[in-house]
Chain A
Amino acid sequence: MMRSHKPWHPPLEIHWRVHWYGDRFVERVMAESSIGEHGLRQASPAATLSILLLCYARDGFAGLRLAIDIAALADRMSDVPDGSEILAFADDDREIRPALVAALAVARNVVGLDLGQSIPPLTSREDRATRLANWRLAGDADQVRATTRLVDALLAPARSNRRFVSSRLRPFHSPKRNVIYVGKTLLRWLPALVSVAWGRTAYALPHCRLTSRVDAIDRLRSADLGSFSADPNLVSVVIAVQDDAAGLAATLDALRAQTMPRDRMEVIVVDDGSRDGSAPCAAEREPWIRLLRLPTSQGSYAARNEGLRHARGAVIAITDADCRPHPDWLVRGAARLRESPRTIVAGHLSMPLGPTPRIAAMVDVVHHLDQERYVGKGVAVTANLFAPCAAFEEVGGFNTALRSGGDFEWCRRARTCGWSLVFHPDVRTVHPPRHSARALIAKSKRVAVGGRRQVHQGLVPSGRRPYLSPRAVVPPHRSRGLDRVRANGADPGYLRWLAVGIGQVALVQAPQAIFALRADIGALRARHQARRAARRH
C-alpha cells in the first residue's frame, strides 16, 4: 500500500509575546540586527544577551540551560556589554526592566555572569524572584509550589496582570485545542486572575506566604546562641534530659566507652526542669560531664539551645537521653563531618526489638526514627546528629516554640541556608523503641501538634493535613516497614504483622489526624479572637 509522506515541520505555535518583549524592544533589536555570515539575521551582542535574559525571566528561571548559554556567550564575546547597555533595551518598560534586572541578578548568582557594577539594587519583588530561582535550582519543590506559580506576576507591576494573562492565551487552529489550552491556562493563572479582580490586596497573597516564611527563618536565625569559642580539637556532646535517670545513665555509660580520648570530648547534660531530681544526680557523679539546669521545663529544644550556648567544641554532637551510641560514634561522626565542608551528618539509628517484641514497639520501629528515610526528605532527628558549631552560628538554634518537629525544622532551615545534610550509616546509635501504646499516642500528639504549629508559624509553606488524608483510617501497605522490623531483629508472623497494621492506624495515624485537627481548630480560634480584639481596639 502506498503511503503519502508529508514533509515534516516542527510544531507551529504563535506566541503573542509582544507584550513581554514590547514593541519598542522588538523595534530596537531589529534595528540593531545585521545579516551574519551564514545569511541569517543576527542581533547585536547586547540585544542577544537581553533577549536571552528576558527568556530566562519569562521561564521563571526554571532551569540552567539558558543561564549556561548566557554565561558561555558572555565568555566568548570580545567586548562584553555592560549591564547598563542591557538595561537600555528595557527603555524603562514597567515589566521588561524589572525582569531584566532580576535576570541579571540571578545569572550573576547562579553562573557568575559579571556585567559590571551598573546593575541597580534589587527591589523586594525582584529579590523574591531571585530567591525563587535559587529554590527552583535546588529542587525545593515545596517552596516553589507554595510561593510562585507566578514568578512573572512577581516581576510584573501590580494591576497589570490582565494584559499579562491575556498575552498568554495563544490561538490555535483547532477550536478544541483552544478550549483545552484556555481552560488549562485559566487554572494555572487563577491566582493572577484573583489578583486582577481584587487589585493590590489580593495580589499580595502569594507574597505574604513567602514573606512570612522568610521572616520566620530570619527571626529564628537571629535567635542569639552567643558566640562559639570553637576548639577545633574538641567535640561537644549535647544531651537534653527530663525525668529519665535510667535512660541518661545508659547514655553516659555508652559515652564512657567511646574510643575518642576523654580530653577531646565534652559532654553537656541539660536538665529540662526534672521533677524527680534523679537525672541531674546521674550526671553530677561524673566530673567530666558539665551539668546545666533549667529552673522550669521549657521543652527539649530550649534545653538543647542552652547546651549549645555552653558548648566549646568546633563539632557539636547531639543525642537523646535514652540513646546508646556505638563506641566509635564520636570518632566516626567527627571524621565524617570534616570530610566535606558545610555538611551536617545524620547517623544511623537502630531500635532493637528482640525475638518477640510487643506490637507497639514494632509500630514505633515502622513509623519513627528512620534516619535514612528522613535524610532522603531533607530532614533528620537529633537523636544522632553532628553539625559544626558554625552551622548553629549561621542558622540559629532550635525553635523553642515547638515541642516536636523542631529538629526537622532546624534541618530545613539549615538546608535553606546552604548546608547539606548527609546520612552516614556507620555513625551508629541505638535508640530503644517505645513499648507502650500510651507512649506512642503521646508521641503522635507531639508530632501532629509540632507539625501543624510549624505551618501556623509560617515555617512550612503548606503542610500535610493528616485529617484530610485517607491514611488516617487506612492501614499502610502491608510490606511497608517490614524490612526495618526484620533489620531490628524481629520476624513477625502473618497475624502479628496484621496487628501491627491495625496498630499503626490506632496508635499513630488516627491520633495524628485527631490532634492535628484539634491544633488547626485551636489556631483558627486564636486567629479569630485576635482579629476581633484588633477590631475592637
Chain B
Amino acid sequence: MPRVEGSPVAPAAEMVLLLAGTERRRSEAAARISALAAIISTSDVADEMDRHRSRLVLGTRARALGITSSSFDKDLAKFLGWAERRSMLFESLTRTLVGHLEDRGVPALPLKGSQLAASAHGNAAMRISGDIDLLIGREHIPTAMHLLREVGY
C-alpha cells in the first residue's frame, strides 16, 4: 500500500496523496482509494484538495474513478468553467509579454502556468495560476524591467 513514509496521514490526506500519484501508483492503489472513499465524506476530500490547490486535477481523477457525489461533480464543472476563462486571460497575457520581450531580443521562457497544465494534464485550465512566471537570463533583466514598465507594469 503506498503511503508517505513516516507520516501520520489522515484518511482524507491519504486519499489525496494516492490520487496525486503517477498513473502506476494510482492503479496500484485503486482498491485502497475505493476503500477510503467508502469511509470519507466527499466534502472532507474536497477540502483537502483545496488545501493543495488541486481540486481540478484531483477532482477530475476522483470523478473518473466514480467515487464522487453528484454535488461534487456539479461544483467541479462550474469551477472548471471559471478556470477555463481565467486560463485564457493568463495565456493571452503571457503571449503578449513574451512577444514584447522576444521583439526586444530577450528570450523568455514561460514557467509553470497554463503551458504546463496543457502538457501535464491535457487542459490549460487544470492549473489555477495567480501569476505569470517567466525565466530570463540575468543579463537581460535591465532590458526586461524597462520594457515591462513601458507596457504598463
A residues whose Cβ falls under 8 Å from a Cβ of B: 6-7, 9-14, 18, 21, 23, 26-27, 29-30, 33, 36, 38-43, 48, 51-52, 55, 63-65, 67-69, 71-76, 109-114, 131, 134-135, 137-140, 340-342, 378, 414-421
Q: Which residues of B pack against A, CB within 8 Å? A: 1-11, 13, 16-17, 20-25, 35, 39, 51-54, 57-58, 90, 93-95, 98, 102, 107-112, 115-117, 119-122, 127, 130-132, 135, 137-138, 141, 145, 148, 152-153
Q: Are B20 and A111 in contact (CB under 8 A)?
A: yes
A–B pairs, 9, beta carbons within 8 Å: A29-B135, A63-B51, A68-B20, A73-B119, A76-B122, A111-B22, A111-B25, A134-B5, A416-B6
Residue ID in chain A nearest B94 by CB atoms: A40
Pairwise interchain contact B112-A63, C-beta atoms closer than 8 A: no
Q: Are A64 and B137 closer than 8 Å at their CB atoms?
A: no
Please tell me if the beta carbons of B20 and A138 are within 8 angstroms of each other in the complex: no
Task: Give the residues in chain A near B141, CB-CB below 8 Å.
Answer: 14
Given contacts A11-B131, A72-B121, A417-B6, contact A110 B20 (CB under 8 A): yes
Taking a contact as CB atoms under 8 Å apart, the answer to whether A378 and B8 are in contact is: yes
* Residue from B23, B109, B115 whose CB has the most chain A CB atoms within 10 Å: B109
Closest 4 CB pairs of A and B: A415-B8, A112-B25, A138-B7, A72-B120
Q: CB distance B93 to A137 under 8 Å?
A: no
A421, B98: Cα distance in complex, Å: 51
CB distance from B33 to the nearest CB of A (A): 14
Contact of B8 among A55, A131, A420 (CB under 8 A): A420
A10 touches B109 (CB 8 A): no
Q: B20 and A67: CB pair below 8 A?
A: yes
Among residues of A, the one whose C-beta sits closest to the C-beta of B2 is A112
Knowing A10-B130, A69-B116 touch, does A27 contact B4 (C-beta < 8 A)? no
Judging by beta carbons under 8 Å apart, are A137 and B7 in contact?
A: yes
Complex CA distance for A42 and B5, rounded to whole angstroms: 35
Q: Knowing A12-B153, A23-B138, A55-B112, say if A41 contacts B107 (CB, 8 Å).
A: yes
- Cβ contact within 8 Å between A9 and B152: yes
Residue in contact with A112 in the complex, picked from B5, B22, B148, CB distance below 8 Å: B22
Contacts of B58 in A (CB 8 A): 68
Closest residue on chain A to residue B98 by CB atoms: A40
Instruction: Tell me if A64 and B153 are in contact (CB < 8 A).
Output: no
With beta carbons under 8 angstroms apart, the residue of B35, B54, B145 that contacts A64 is B54
| B111 contacts across to A, CB distance below 8 A | 51, 55
Contact of B5 among A23, A30, A109, A113 (CB under 8 A): A109
Task: Tell me which of B5, B110, B121, B138 contacts A26 (CB under 8 A).
Answer: B138
How far is A209 from B130 in the complex, measured between Cα atoms in Å?
36
B121: chain A residues at CB < 8 Å are 69, 72
Q: Give A140 to B54 CA distance when docked, in angstroms.
A: 20
Distance A417 CA – B4 CA, assembled complex (angstroms): 10
**In the bound complex, how far is the Cα of B25 from the Cα of A113, in angstroms?**
9
A113-B22, A340-B39 known; A63+B148 contact, CB < 8 A: no
**Interfacial chain A residues near B131, Cβ < 8 Å:** 10-11, 13
Taking a contact as CB atoms under 8 Å apart, the answer to whether B8 and A418 are in contact is: yes
Min Cβ gap B119→A in Å is 6
B132 touches A418 (CB 8 A): no
In the complex, what residues of A have CB within 8 A of residue B138's CB? Answer: 18, 23, 26
